[in-house]
Amino acid sequence: MRTITVRQAIQEALREEMRRDENVFLMGEDIAYYGSAYGVTKGFVDEFGEKRVKDTPISETAIIGAATGAALAGLRPIPEIMSINFALQALDQVINHSAKMSYMFGGQMKVPMVLRTPSGWSQLAATHSQTLELLFAYIPGLKVVMPSTPYDHKGLLKSAIRDDDPVIFIEHALIYGAKGEVPEEEYLVPIGKSVVRRPGKDVTVVSYSRMAMLAMEAANDLAAEGIDVEVIDLRTLRPLDMEPVIESVKKTNRVVVAEEGWKTYGIGAEVQSRIYEEAFDYIDAPVRRVAGIEVPAPYNKHLEMAAYPHKANIVAAIREVLK
């Protein structure tokens, strides 16, 4: 099968859905002629024109509010927020409006919008390097997707665009260049389904996005030592599909949850407590969490490297639960 990058996978998903459905359009800061900060929408304005690829002012609240309104009226907007950190300025629109409309108005309305936004870090300092998916995953009414492989990026983004609810689609800036197999033919990956990325019998690692990729690398390294790691990629953070996790725990009895975000109140905390609630009898060692150090991201590269978790942290945690 051919191999493409995460960036190309996202581009293919956008292009295919825009060709398929006239109602789908893009809006965001510098997405047209600049080609977007991470180069994802480069060239789109040439193919689809300014009507469907709109450069907006730097007005996050207006971007998301307008996308919500357009979605109410039956369009399928894909607003891009240049960085998840800037989405904070639009949180009121997302949390108090987009997320609530279907429920609050008794099911009369739908908001088929996909908010695409990159998360990530690399010496961008405290306000530009935050791992904030939790803020969205906390909110009923939103669907929150954060894939790892190119295959999942493409299939999940296509599903998100066809979904009738507001979907927060979070891309990790450090994996845009990561490669993987993606078929030529059309396919969809369902939202709300975790996946066993690598079967194993000794220990389960639960993760998503970039950390799921690192978990795969850790598993491959440990395989050489005869440690058989099962890796589960959550892919969707809300609704959270715990079924493959619970199945896996029943088999391996040992778990590591790995995320980049801060540990306290985090995604890992949620997964960990669900495991205790639903599979307590199967646990042979305390569930370990790998997470970021609880500090605003420092600019200095050594401090930053110390603040974020790496493959070595996953490996160490696996050894710990196997003790």
Ligand X SMILES: Cc1ncc(C[n+]2csc(CCOP(=O)(O)OP(=O)(O)O)c2C)c(N)n1
104 near other proteins, rule: CB under 8 A: no
Secondary structure (H, E, C), 295-310? CCCCCCHHHHHHHCCC
Using the rule CB under 8 A, give the single segment among 56-64, 196-204, 224-232, 271-279 that binds other proteins: 56-64
Positions 251 through 280 that interact with other proteins (CB under 8 A): 262-264
Q: Is residue 213 within a helix (H) or strand (E), and if so which, with residue range?
A: helix 209-223
Q: Distance of CA 182 to CAs 9, 64, 103, 145, 189, Å? A: 8, 31, 36, 19, 12
Q: DSSP secondary structure string, 4-29?
A: EEHHHHHHHHHHHHHHH-TTEEEEET
29 near ligand X, rule: CB under 6 A: yes
- For residue 60, indicate whether it is catalytic: yes
Residues 127 and 180 sit within 8 Å (Cβ to Cβ):
no
State whether residue 257 is helix, strand or coil.
strand
Q: Give the C-alpha separation, 67 to 265, whole Å.
A: 30
Q: Which is nearer to ligand X, 17 or 171 (CB)?
A: 171
Site map 65..104 versus ligand X, x via CB under 6 A: -----------------x---x--x---------------
DSSP conformation class of 82: S
CB of 322 to other proteins, least distance (A): 18
Q: Which is nearer to ligand X, 117 or 131 (CB)?
A: 117
As given in the structure block, the two tokens for residue 188 are 């969809």
Q: Which is nearer to ligand X, 132 or 229 (CB)?
A: 132
Q: Which of 12, 17, 29, 60 is catalytic?
A: 60
> Of 3, 96, 122, 220, which one interacts with other proteins (CB under 8 A)?
122
Q: How many residues bind other proteins (CB under 8 A)?
A: 40
Region of 225 (left: φ > 0; alpha: ψ -120 to 50; beta: rest) is: alpha
Q: Which is nearer to ligand X, 29 or 259 (CB)?
A: 29
- For residue 128, indicate whether it is catalytic: yes
As given in the structure block, the two tokens for residue 301 are 């590269």
Closest CA relative to residue 97, chosen from 168, 191, 23, 166:
166
91 near other proteins, rule: CB under 8 A: no
Q: Which is nearer to other proteins, 46 or 181 (CB)?
A: 46
Neighbours of 310 (CB within 10 A): 15
- Among other proteins, ligand X, none, what does residue 265 contact (CB within 5–8 Å per kind)? none
- Among ligand X, other proteins, none, what does residue 302 contact (CB within 5–8 Å per kind)? other proteins
> Of 1, 51, 57, 74, which one interacts with other proteins (CB under 8 A)?
57
Question: Across the chain, how many H-helices and E-strands are there?
Answer: 12, 14
Active-site residue list? 60, 128
User: Where along the sequence are the contacts to other proteins (CB under 8 A)?
Assistant: 29-30, 33-35, 37, 55-61, 85-86, 88-89, 122-128, 262-264, 293-296, 298-303, 306-307, 313
User: Where along the sequence are the contacts to ligand X (CB under 6 A)?
Assistant: 29, 58, 60, 82, 86, 89
